[in-house]
Amino acid sequence: MSTIRDIEKEIVEEFGLFDNNDDKYEYIIDLGKKLPVLDDQYKTDDNKVRGCQSSVWLQADYKDGKIFFSADSDSVLVKGLISMLVRVLSGRTPDEIIGAPLDFIKEVGLTSFLAQTRSNGLLSMVKQIKNYALAFKLKHSTT
Amino acid sequence: MITSIDTEVKKKTFDVQSFREQFPILKRQVKGYPLIYLDNAATSQKPQVVIDALVNYYSGFNANIHRGIHSLAEEATAAFEATRDTVKDFINASSREEIIFTRGTTEGINLVAATWGRANVKAGDEIIITNMEHHSNIVPWQLLCEEKGAVLKVIPVDDNGELIWEEFLKLISPKTKLISVVHVSNALGTVNPVKNIIAEARKVGALVMVDGAQSTVHLDIDVQDMDCDFFAFSSHKLYGPTGIGVLYGKRDLLLAMPVYQGGGEMIKEVKYTGTTFNDLPYKYEAGTPNIADTIALKTAIDFVNETGKDVMRRHEDELLDYATEQLQQIPGLKIIGQAKEKVSLVSFIIDKLHPQDIAILLDNRGIAVRTGHHCAQPLIDRFCIPGTTRASFAAYNTTEEIDELVKGLHRAIKLLA
């Protein structure tokens, strides 16, 4: 099975096909539109990611030692970003998620999203995902 | 005779291209496109003369003011105090003692809440604000009311973004101690009828503070004619530097109010048995002030006066009309804030599109707008929307730039919808 790093490399290669910013954004928008809609029952305050100008909900389920993420946002661009994070991190073990450096964010040239941490919170999403991983790890190591 | 006619003609015409030339930043590119700066309600860009004023101060006569005996200190003090005179004339205060330098509008409001408010507001008293206040004109009063057991009342806003006058009349009573109202809404552009509000306040003996952060660059400000008790504004929305603002207060009130911060400059005599305080306006200006930015604020006001607020406003009104007309033709676009009296900004939403996505795509075309709640969350909640996209115009903006905005929005809709 491919590792987190393998998937990251795939994404970086896909983005390598675009020679301008517009195409990159169009691709992210496209990913956002394709991300399955999160059921309303999961759009709770508990699942809401803080620090985003748009609303972002992140649902995490633990099964057989792995965490599965589903997510949604009212911003299409943010959904596109989430879609990439889900693709890289969903179905991984807590340790894999906690240890993932997620270099693809920089490599793909999404630094403008990173720079706007306060307004659209890509970093907040990453932090929330890692917090879930940590929480599941602690919960399942003590039981 | 001929000279006076020439001056008259010069005053009445406004050449936007030569005005733009004075702002070096407008020549830059963003993401490969010429910058189109439509975030002027957040902060305006600075003309070369203001930038030069800052450089000239630091390279020519930087010194601490008021106490130094040497030449540099005298030059710096003279330049600093000259700004006070210019501000006094700019807003037509009756004396220079009524001009207090602050960090900005927010500090001006906080100063009044912390001094006049603490000394005069008691349990059961009422303070009235509006539903279109910036957080800066909500939170200081909320804190004061919590501390004193006073009550904060809010004048509601109608669907056009105007205050509901009948509701205001129901709120105001002899219990009203203060009405603190935004002159021009930063999120909607609405110009509020402050003179009428002040007239009502006088009937019940309430004071009125006016938040002039957005109005000072667009409207003529005459605090004596307005008859407000306090008026606060910021330099950076007025083509001046950041970090400096003005609080105007009526002399009698400023004399009676307790001091704000303690420290240098604001004292007359310090002994361990007690301290006496300096005269107005220094009583409220503790510590070394923001000398450079204060000096450059004078340059900014001179710049505005020389250009002529009236001709600038005429151009801004044209931009507002043009933008309103063009934006309304975009399918699914709804303008939030359609007051009869508005300054040159347009807040809007587009069906099914998130403001943040719109702004990111516009930024990719070099177009700077603002999105979100514009630090007026209760107002945005009132319209039941997640936030708006706001294009706010200054006198250096052009109709061609609005055309680019419209193109950018069409493109965003095509991509996102």
Q: For the residues A38-49, what does the mean pLDDT come to?
A: 88
Return the residue in A25, A54, A55, A82 with the most chain B beta carbons within 10 A, the one to mutate for interface testing: A54
What residue ranges in B27-75 does DSSP mark as E strands?
Answer: 29-30, 33-34, 36-37
Instruction: Write the single-letter amino acid at B216.
Output: T
Neighboring chain A residues of B371 at a CB cutoff of 8 Å: 53, 119
Other CB atoms within a 10 A radius of the CB of residue B363 amount to: 18
Does B354 sit within 8 Å of A74, measured CB to CB?
Answer: yes
- Pick from B357, B364, B372: CB nearest A76: B357
Give the pair of three-digit tokens for residue B75. Answer: 């030059």
CATH number of B8-37+308-416: 3.90.1150.10
DSSP A92: B
User: Which string of b and e fits A46-80 if b means at least 16 CB within 10 Å?
Assistant: ebebebbbbebbbbbebeeeebebbbbbbbbbbbb
Residue A76 with chain B: CB contacts under 8 Å: 354, 357, 416
CA distance B366 to B404: 10
Do residues A31 and A71 lie in contact, with contact meaning Cβ atoms separated by under 8 Å? no
What tens digit of pLDDT does each residue of A12-25 get? 999 888 888 788 88
How far is the alpha carbon of B407 from chain A, nearest alpha carbon, in Å? 15
The rounded distance, in Å, linking the Cα atoms of B55 and B63 is 14
Amino acid at B319: L
Q: Which of A22, A55, A75 sits opposite B357 (nearest CB)?
A: A75
Domain locations along chain B: 8-37+308-416, 51-305
Residues of B with CB under 8 A from a CB of A: 31, 354-357, 360-361, 364, 371-372, 386-387, 415-416
User: For chain A, what is the mean pLDDT?
Assistant: 86
Taking contacts as CB-CB distances below 8 angstroms, the residues of chain B near A49 are none
Name, in order, each residue with C-beta under 8 angstroms of B5's C-beta and a sequence gap of 6 or more. none
Residues of A within 8 A of B354 (CB-CB) are: 54, 74-78
Measured CA distances, B409 to B28, B210, B213, B328, B343 (Å): 22, 35, 28, 12, 22
Shortest distance, CA B415 to any CA of chain A (angstroms): 7
Task: Classify B51-305 by CATH class.
Answer: alpha beta
Helix (H, G, I), strand (E, B) or coil at B130: strand
Cα dihedral B181/B187/B191/B194 (nearest 10): 0
Give me the tens of pLDDT residue by residue for chain B, a chain 417 residues long: 444 555 554 556 899 999 999 999 999 999 899 999 999 999 999 999 999 999 999 999 999 999 889 999 999 999 999 999 999 999 999 999 999 999 999 999 999 999 999 999 999 999 999 999 999 999 999 999 999 999 999 999 999 999 999 999 999 999 999 999 999 999 999 999 999 999 999 999 999 999 999 999 999 999 999 999 999 999 999 999 999 999 999 999 999 999 999 998 899 999 999 999 999 999 999 999 999 999 999 999 999 999 999 999 999 999 999 999 999 999 999 999 999 999 999 999 999 999 989 999 999 999 999 998 889 999 998 999 989 999 999 999 999 999 999 999 999 999 998
Q: Which residue of A has its CA nearest to B361?
A: A25
Q: What is the DSSP string of B144-196?
A: HHHHHT-EEEEE-B-TTS-B-HHHHHHH--TTEEEEEEESB-TTT-BBP-HHH
What number does CATH give the domain A4-142? 3.90.1010.10
Residue B356 to residue A54, Cβ atoms within 8 A:
yes
